[in-house]
Amino acid sequence: MTGTLILVRHGQSEWNLKNLFTGWRNPGLTEKGIDEARAAGKALKAKGYKPDAFYTSALVRAQRTLDLILEEMGIENLTIVRNQALNERDYGDLAGLNKDDAREKWGEEQVHIWRRSYDVPPPGGESLKDTAARVLPYYEAEILPRLKAGETVLVAAHGNSLRALVMVLEGLDEEAILKREIATGAPIVYMIDAAGKRVSTEEL
């Protein structure tokens, strides 16, 4: 018996467009982001996916993305689980800053380390390792049992919270996961066996 895990990064947000560090701040989706979310829903419907369970973060851009996906799939009257364990990485003192301004303030090399190292957090924020430390236990406790039981689970979340999951699912090391891009509004579908291991991956 295999379960199906569908991961979708939220559509483009207003702060993605402005090149700002977002983290736990709450900007909405741009028109492009809305279109990306709708396209994800259309793609999943065309493939015939029928999720049994729905998870998202405590942040508006991911919740709105999930709502739009479900609208396009014609799914209603359901329970959505929202939990901050699936929130984006907390960028701390960088949140709300333009990435170019941050480079001017702290230097190109330091900002690059904060953005692209696995275990070095920005001031007041989280590293990817810190993010994984809250995402993975939540996944193992709440989502994995459903997959092992053969269910289809849809998760709408964020670049780094999903990266923490993808690292484990795809068996990537600390260097490889930092290079793994997760596009906005582009579903990644994993087939998961009864032991919780990935059997196959499809990017829509």
Asked whether the beta carbons of 136 and 164 are under 8 A apart, the reply is: yes
Asked whether the beta carbons of 122 and 88 are under 8 A apart, the reply is: no
- Which residues are known catalytic residues? 10, 88
End-to-end CA, the chain = 23
| Token pair 């380390």 in the structure block, residue | 113
What the block records as the tokens of 121 is: 């957090």
Asked whether the beta carbons of 98 and 20 are under 8 A apart, the reply is: yes
C-alpha count within 13 angstroms, C-beta hemisphere, residue 38 = 7
CA 34 to CA 47: how far, in whole Å? 20
Residue-wise burial string across 36-63, b where 16 or more C-beta atoms lie within 10 A, e elsewhere: bbbbbbebbeeeebebebbbbbebbbbb
CA 122 to CA 179: how far, in whole Å? 19
Amino acid identity of residue 99, one-letter, is K
